[in-house]
Amino acid sequence: MFVKEAPQMAELFRLDLPSDTHRRIVHVDMDAFYASIEMRDAPEYRKKALVIAHDPRKTGGKGVITTANYVARQFGVHSAMPAMEALRLVPRQLLVFKDPDFEKYRAVSQQIHAVFHQVTDLIEPVALDEAYLDVTGNTTFSNTISLAIWLQRTIEAKTHLTCAVGVSYNKFLAKMASEYNKPGGRTVVTPDVVAEFLADQDIGNFHGVGKKTLPKIEAMGIHTGADLRNESPQELQRRFGKMCFVLAQHARGIDDRPVRVREAKSIGKERTYNPPLQTDAAVQNEFVRLADMVFTAARRKERHGKTVVIKIRDVDFTTLTRRVTTETFFDSSEAIYDAAWQLWLELGGLRKSLRLVGITVTALAPITFENIDLPLTPGSVRGDRQREQLAPEETE
């Protein structure tokens, strides 16, 4: 009897294929990035349990933790946790809340990416503090370990921040390697040690095993990488569907996903304020400044866009966004400001003090040419120059 799914199943569980080991992938993960920047800039935070979040005592209990330093983590504080939980877990004399400053964090991230670009242009950002680098084609360094050491030392020299680095032949293993020895560590996983490296790894560390999946997998008696490798792929497929193939591959050190260079879909700048902005004049000044920053960043990347978006957040943490799209590209900081300010006026102006203002330009395209209006009246300089560019036989 012919079973339609049989060929797919046979292909799905071909796990005996040789893994592609020729690539050299580096995963860089900054250590407690936002908190480390704040400790760098204010050394008095270093012995405190620093939590990057709005103080819930000032927000009516609202807010989520962006990140925390390692002192706070010792008390069980982690990112995405309600900020109120930090008050419960950490002794009050140690606990410090710091409002996030994403403008500053983005600026430091740009410094780090500038270091990345010195060794490769094949960079896949995961977040401001994390990226994959494909350095297969780099011939400047004698080996990838030397390159990884250089990255860590150069990033620390330029930013005074540390990072963990994982080196292997694919993204999955490079990520596992960087997580293996944090903070500040460096781990290299070569093809001959993959089985040993993965065998003792907690199953919760594997990509694709989230909070909902973890208890279901552990109920099967799978707690480590070795358990996962020894489990029947067919049983995994029956329990978890398509995800099982990825898990079965990862358990064998297989991951052929390329490092993908992502084109920016938008360019934006935003800033949080403490104290909040309390007048329309103050808001207007910030719109002018942010519009100039967005335009400068867009020109640096040789991009322009047709959509402007504003984002505001008031003292009650109500967040609003508005956007406008035009038929032509915004070609100056003034044009961006004008669009943003008009959106602000349409919102009704200042009603409550603002904690955050942001401007973003989207619908980006490369700047491949400039639209120039050429006067056609006789005697104009550009009109004459236009005629001079005609073919000789047309002017003689």
> CA 347, CA 350: separation in Å to the nearest integer?
9
Asked if the structure places residue 389 within a domain, the reply is no
- Non-local (6+) Cβ contacts of 109 within 8 A are 128, 129
Q: What does DSSP say about strands 25-30 and 163-168: parallel, antiparallel, or unpaired? A: antiparallel
Asked if the structure places residue 275 within a domain, the reply is yes
CA 255 to chain centre: 21
Asked if the structure places residue 382 within a domain, the reply is no
Residue 138 has pLDDT above 50, yes or no: yes
Among 93-107, 112-126, 241-255, 330-344, the range scoring the smallest mean pLDDT is 241-255
- Give yes or no: residues 132 and 228 share one domain: yes
CATH number for the domain harbouring residue 285: 3.30.1490.100
- Give yes or no: residues 164 and 278 share one domain: no
Asked if the structure places residue 261 within a domain, the reply is no
Average pLDDT, the chain: 85
Find out whether 121 is annotated in a ligand binding site: no
Asked if the structure places residue 257 within a domain, the reply is no
Find out whether 29 is annotated in a ligand binding site: yes
Half-sphere exposure of 217 (CA within 13 A, CB side): 30
CATH number for the domain harbouring residue 79: 3.40.1170.60
> CA 35, CA 38: separation in Å to the nearest integer?
5
Residues facing 133 on adjacent strands? 26, 123
393 is catalytic: no
Mean pLDDT, to the nearest integer, of 353-360?
Answer: 94
Asked if the structure places residue 2 within a domain, the reply is no
> CA 272, CA 66: separation in Å to the nearest integer?
14
- Give yes or no: residues 158 and 191 share one domain: yes
Asked if the structure places residue 142 within a domain, the reply is yes
- Give yes or no: residues 157 and 60 share one domain: no
- Give yes or no: residues 129 and 238 share one domain: yes
> CA 123, CA 176: separation in Å to the nearest integer?
18
Mean pLDDT, to the nearest integer, of 338-367?
Answer: 91
Q: Which is catalytic among the residues 130, 231, 270, 286?
A: 130
Helix (H, G, I), strand (E, B) or coil at 124: strand
End of a domain among 71, 101, 131? 101
Q: How many domains does the chain have?
A: 3
In degrees and rounded to multiples of 5, residue 88 shows phi and psi of -80, -35
Q: Which domain holds residue 65?
A: 33-101
- Give yes or no: residues 290 and 215 share one domain: no
Helix (H, G, I), strand (E, B) or coil at 75: coil
> CA 251, CA 38: separation in Å to the nearest integer?
38
End of a domain among 57, 86, 101? 101
- Give yes or no: residues 217 and 141 share one domain: yes
More confident residue, 205 or 262: 205
- Give yes or no: residues 133 and 270 share one domain: no
CATH number for the domain harbouring residue 172: 3.30.70.270
pTM over 0.85: no
Mean pLDDT, to the nearest integer, of 144-151?
Answer: 95
- Give yes or no: residues 122 and 235 share one domain: yes
In degrees and rounded to multiples of 5, residue 245 shows phi and psi of -65, -40
- Give yes or no: residues 298 and 357 share one domain: yes
Asked if the structure places residue 16 within a domain, the reply is no
- Give yes or no: residues 97 and 108 share one domain: no
Residue 122: pLDDT band by 50, 70, 90 thresholds? very high
Supply the pLDDT for residue 18: 55
H helices then E strands: how many in the chain? Answer: 16, 12
- Give yes or no: residues 108 and 61 share one domain: no
Please say whether the beta carbons of 158 and 115 come within 8 A. yes
* CA distances for 302 relative to 53, 335, 336, angstroms: 34, 17, 16
Residue 385 has pLDDT above 60, yes or no: no
Residue type, 81: M
DSSP 181-236: TTTT-EEE--GGGHHHHHHTSBGGGSTT--TTHHHHHHTTT--BHHHHHHS-HHHH
Mean pLDDT, to the nearest integer, of 187-215?
Answer: 88
Burial class (CB in 10 A: 0-12, 13-18, 19+), 311: middle
Q: What does DSSP say about strands 186-188 and 163-168: parallel, antiparallel, or unpaired? A: parallel
